[in-house]
Structure formats: C-alpha cells, structure tokens
Structure 1
Amino acid sequence: MIKNEIFFLGVSATVILGLLFLILFYLVIRKWLEQRVRKKIDECMETLSPQIFEFISEGKISRHLHLDSDIKKKAAEELLTKFAANLTGEDETEKLRGFADSHLRNYFKQQLKSRRWSIRMNALYHIEDLHLTELQPQVLESARNEKVSHDERVQSLRILAAFQYEEIFDLLRSNSDYLSDGELRNIILRLNDHKFCEFILGFHKSGKQLKYAVVDAAGVRKDLKYVNFIESVYASYDGEARLRAVKALSSLGVVKDLSPYLKLRHSGDWKERMMAAKLFGSLKEPELLPYLLELLHDASWWVRSQAGQSIMLYPDGRKELQLVLETSNDSYAKDMAWEWINKGDFV
C-alpha cells in the first residue's frame, strides 16, 4: 500500500515537473520570438524614419517607401505616433494624418476586428493620436457594440468626442449610466464650444450622471459665458447637482449675485457648508471673510479645513488665523488655524 502511494507520488511529481518544463520552454520561445519581432520593428523604424519625416516636412514621398508587411506597418504606426506627439505646425500635422490615412487605414481596420483585446485597444489609441477621422464609422461601431469591453467603449467615445461626432450627445446620454463621473467629464471636455452647448441645451433631459459631468466640465472650462448656466443649475436643483454647481462656480471665481449662496453656510448638509467655504475663498470678497471665520468654527473637520484654506487666500488671511489662534475659545478652530498658518505657504 505504502509502495503504491510512493509510486503514485513519484509519477505525479514527474508529471508536474514535466508540465512546468513545458511551460518554461513555451515562455522562453515566446520571449525569443517577441524579441526577434521587436528587433525587426526597430530596424524598420530606423529605415522608415527619414523617409516619413521627409514626407511630413517637405511633402516628398520616397520611391523606396513601401509598407508591404505588418512589421513595416507596425514600425510606421509607432513612428507616426511619436511624430504626432511633437508636431505643432498645422501643415505638418495634416500631412502626417494624410500619410496615416493613406498607408494605415486598412491596417487599423483589421486591428479593430482582432480577437485580442490589447490589439483592438492599441488601434483605438493610435486612431486618436493620429486623428484618423476617416475611421469614425469603425469607431462608432465599436462604441455601439454591446460585446466590447468597458475600456473599449470609453476609448471609442473619447475618440468620437474628439472628432466632434454629430450625434455625440444622444450617444453619451444612452451610455451615461455605465460611465463614471471622471470618464464622462473626460469625454465631454474634448468637445468644442458648439458641441458642448448642445449638452447645455439638452441638460434637463439628461440622466443625473451626465448632468453632473456637464456641470463639472463647465467649471473646468473656466469660461465666464457658462456662469448663467451654472447659476441656473444651482437655482433649479438640489442635492448633488447643486453641490456640483457651487464647485463649478468656485472654479470660475465669479457669481452675479452673492445673496443666493450666503445661506449655504447654515445648511444642514456639511458638504454644502464646505462648498460654501470653497466658493467664498475663490471669490475673495472682503465681506465674506467673517463668514469664513464663522465656518472655521464648524462642527465638521472638512468644513473647518476648507474654511482655513480659503481664509489663507485672502491678503490678510494669515493675520486673521493668527487672531483666531490667540483669542478663540474653540480648540478645534485653533487647531485648524495653526495647521493652515504652518502650511499656508504651500497653498
């Protein structure tokens, strides 16, 4: 019985070692093949670089320039992406985009149909970098495909926004429930003013996640023409939408009338009191400083911290905090004043 068990264990160990050896052999061969392909790509890049650069800079196409293999196309793809990141002139950029469209359009089409997720994602990134608007139908197909991964859908929507796709509002509205705030905001910020105004006009029929992202984007754009829109959101909505509106106004540093926002400092929601402190700091109106000192004594640590930071934005902020430190009976307010006095130089 014991001999049988020993024999069985020996056979099992031999099989496991054999499998491990096969896996190791496979990994070594795979690594060798990858390095071999990488070497060929690098060699092609050295050959193609001056030829492609000559076309981009002077418009001359070399008779030796033939992208007749996947290796050469991969090399050209990497070169064009590098050039695109460094070009600033419109003429050179347009030549680069035209070259990519002429020589790599079908190559990217094939990659978008690959079974491998990494190849499809890589193609989407390059389509964005090279601004290949001719591939918009294929990108749109990817965005609408229910079987694609979340990352592919987000990247496809980013590209369509950058391309100013005509129906981007409807497309984002139907996808907004599946995207995070950051993803939606990043997509919307790629829109030009004309397309962004469509989102403002359609704001009231958008889902809540899309509403939040539009308000955030209006603040990030830092354009005063959006003040009326943001203030209308503040006046018409409550909860998270109103908080986002106050945050956006804080980014702009402008309001048309202070009075609607003064009541926030007495809100039962600590987040609204905190955003009031943030807004008062960005506005830097002298009459708001007493309200910030009041908020420095708030029961919430977050409100006190934001109030301290905002006070430091005022010309006499450090002096006001020093006065709190010396005269206040509130130990929490004094602690916060001390904290911002000592780190205020880094605000």
Structure 2
Amino acid sequence: MFSQELFYFFVVLVGLLVVLTGLCLYLLIKKIIDNKNRAHIEQYKEEYQLALFQFLHEGVKSESLNGRSPLQIRALVELLAGFSKMFASDDIQERLQGFAEEHFQSFILSQLRHSRWSIRMNALYWIQDFKMKSMVERLKELHASKNISKAEEIQLLKIAALFEEEDLVSRLIEPNHELTEFEYSLLLHALRKEQFGPLVHVFEELPEVMRFALIDSIGTRNRMEHVPFLQRLLEDGSTELKIRALKAVVGMELYLDVERLSVHLRADSWQERLMAIKACEYIRSQQLTPYLTELMSDPSFYVRSQAAQSLLRLENGKEVLREIAAHAEDEYARDMAEQWLERGAVS
C-alpha cells in the first residue's frame, strides 16, 4: 500500500516537473522571440526616422515609408507617436494624421481586438495621438459593447472629447463604469473652453461627483465665463456645492464683496467658513475685521488659525491680534492670536 502511494506521488511529481519545464521553455522562447522582434523594430525605426521626419516637415513622401510587415508598421507607429508629441504645427499635425489614416488603420484595428488589455490601451492612445477620425464609428461600437474596462472607457471618452462628438455629454453622464471625482477631473481637463457650456447647462442632471469635478475644474482652469454660475451656486447651492464654489473662487482669485462673503463667514459648516476666510485674502478690507475677530473664537482650530492669518494681512491686523491676545475672554482665541503674532514677528 505504501509503495503504491509512493509511486503515485512520484508520477505526480514528474508530471509537475514536465509542466514546469515546458512552461519555462515556452517563456524562454517567447522572451527570445520578443527580444529579436524588438531589435528588428528598433532597426526599422532608425531606417525610417529621417524619411518620416522629412515627410512631416516638407511633405515629400519616400517610398521607403511603405512598411508592409507587422514589425515595420509597428516601427512606423512608434516613430509617429513620438513625433506627434514633439511638433505642434498645424501643417505637421495634418500630415501626421493623414499618414496614420492611410497606413495604420488595419494594424490599429487588429490591436483593438487583441485579448491583452495593454495592447488595446496602446491602440487607443495611438488613435488619440494621431487624431484618427476615421476610427470614430469603430470606437463608438467598442464603447457600446459593455465589455471594456474602466481605463478603456476613460480613454474612449477622452477621444470623444477630442473629436467633439455630439453625444459626449450623455456619455459622460451615463458611463458604463461608475467614475470617481478624480477620474471625472481627468476627463474635464481634456475639454476645450466651448465644451464646458453644455455641462454647466445640464448641471442638475450630472452625477454628484461630476458636479464637484466640474466646479473644481472651472476654478483650476480659470474659466472666467462661468463666474455667474459660481455666484448662483453660492446663493442657492447645497452646503457642499457652496464650499466647492468658494474653493473655485479662491483658486481664481476672484473678488467677493464683504456683504456677500459675510453670509459664508457665519455659515453652519466649518468648511464653508474656512473657505470664506480664504476668499478674504483678495479683499483685505477693514470691514472684515469684526467677522474675522468673531471667528477667532470658532470651535474649529483650522478656522481660528485661518482667521488669525487673514487678520494679520489687514492694515491694522497686528493691533487687532494684540487686543485679542490681551483681552479676549476665549482662551483659544488668545492662544491663536499669540501664535500668529509670533509668526508675524519672525517673518
């Protein structure tokens, strides 16, 4: 009985060794082939580089650029992708796009159908780099297939923004995958100025995280044409939207009058009070003194600290802080005033 079990164990062990040996040989051979192919691609790139450069700059096309093998096509694709990031001239970009449309369609379509995710992603990046509008319908079919990963969908949406597709807004509102605020921010960063208007117009229909990303993007991209929209949010938006709008206002260094700002300086949310104090930096009016003095006793440490910093920027700020440090009834207000007076003395 024992010898029979030992025999079966030996058979299983030998089988595993054979499988592992076969797997190692497969990986080794694959690595050798991949290295050989990469060497050929690099050689082709050296051969094509000058001719492709001359074509992009002068429009004179050499017969040597008619690559036929998959490796030759791959070399041309990689070269052109590098050139696309180097040159911004309209003429060069037009030639670059035309060359890609003429030579790479079949190759890139085959890459889009590949089973490996990384290869499909590379194909999408190339379509964006080369601005291949001939791929639009194929990409729409791909997006509608529901079998794409989140990264692929985000890249498809970036391409849709690049080509200013009419259904971009609906595709952003109802993506196949649930997108985070950060991912929406990446997408909004790719939009041109005129593409923001339709999103602002349907703001109430947007997913919540997309609303937040849109407001932040208006601030970071300094979209001055949407200041009235931010002002409406400050008047009628929810607490979170008001905080976001104030953050955008601070980022754009916009002036808000003291009367309007005072509403936010006395808001229930400490985050809203904090962002309102930060907006005071671009006003520096003596009218702010009583509001900031009151906020020196705020329950939030961050609000007290920001209020002291803002007071220090005012013309009579040091005198106000000295008065608070010496006579305020609130212990926290006195401590914060003393801290910022010391910082002011050091600076």
Q: Give the TM-score normalised by structure 2.
A: 0.85
Helix, strand or coil: the match of 2:147? Answer: coil
Q: Counterpart in 2 of 1:333?
A: 336
Aligned partners of 1:28, 1:311: CA distance in 2, in Å? 69
Q: Counterpart in 1 of 2:129?
A: 129
Aligned partners of 2:20, 2:341: CA distance in 1, in Å? 62
- Give 1:300 shift: 2.8
Aligned length: 343
Change (3 A) 1:138 1:278: farther
Residue 58 (structure 2) pairs with residue 55 (structure 1): no
What's the RMSD between the two structures over aligned residues? 3.3
Q: Counterpart in 2 of 1:97?
A: 97
Helix, strand or coil: the match of 2:175? Answer: helix
Helix, strand or coil: the match of 1:275? Answer: helix
- Give 1:245 shift: 1.2
Q: Counterpart in 1 of 2:202?
A: 202
Q: Counterpart in 2 of 1:183?
A: 183
Query: For the Cα contact (< 8 Å) 1:185–1:213, is it kept in 2?
Result: yes
Q: Counterpart in 1 of 2:25?
A: 25
- Give 1:260 shift: 2.8
Aligned partners of 1:250, 1:115: CA distance in 2, in Å? 47
Query: For the Cα contact (< 8 Å) 1:157–1:187, is it kept in 2?
Result: yes
- Give 1:114 shift: 2.1
Amino acid at match of 2:336: A
Aligned partners of 2:176, 2:251: CA distance in 1, in Å? 24
Change (3 A) 1:208 1:15: same
- Give 1:191 shift: 2.2
1:204-243 equivalent positions in 2, closer than 5 A: 204-243=204-243
Query: For the Cα contact (< 8 Å) 2:308–2:337, is it kept in 1?
Result: no
- Give 1:210 shift: 2.8
Query: For the Cα contact (< 8 Å) 2:146–2:176, is it kept in 1?
Result: no
Runs of at least 5 residues in structure 1 that lack an aligned partner in the other structure: none
Query: Percent same amino acid at aligned positions?
Result: 28
- Give 1:286 shift: 5.4
Q: Counterpart in 1 of 2:157?
A: 157
Query: For the Cα contact (< 8 Å) 1:176–1:184, is it kept in 2?
Result: no
Runs of at least 5 residues in structure 2 that lack an aligned partner in the other structure: none
* Deviation by residue 1:189-234 (Cα, 9 ceiling, x = unmatched): 3222222111112223333233222222211221322111111122
Q: Give the TM-score normalised by structure 1.
A: 0.85
Query: For the Cα contact (< 8 Å) 1:318–1:341, is it kept in 2?
Result: no
Q: Counterpart in 2 of 1:108?
A: 108
- Give 1:294 shift: 5.1
- Give 1:10 shift: 4.3
Amino acid at match of 1:89: S
Amino acid at match of 1:164: E
Q: Counterpart in 1 of 2:279?
A: 279
Aligned partners of 1:151, 1:339: CA distance in 2, in Å? 50
Aligned partners of 1:29, 1:290: CA distance in 2, in Å? 78
Aligned partners of 1:289, 1:24: CA distance in 2, in Å? 75
Aligned partners of 1:302, 1:91: CA distance in 2, in Å? 53
- Give 1:87 shift: 0.7
Query: For the Cα contact (< 8 Å) 1:142–1:153, is it kept in 2?
Result: no
Amino acid at match of 2:271: K
Helix, strand or coil: the match of 1:64? Answer: helix
Q: Counterpart in 1 of 2:45?
A: 45
Residue 272 (structure 2) pairs with residue 269 (structure 1): no
- Give 1:103 shift: 1.2
* Deviation by residue 1:39-77 (Cα, 9 ceiling, x = unmatched): 111111111111111100111001222121211111111
Change (3 A) 1:301 1:256: closer
Amino acid at match of 1:220: T
Aligned partners of 1:324, 1:139: CA distance in 2, in Å? 67
Change (3 A) 1:76 1:290: farther
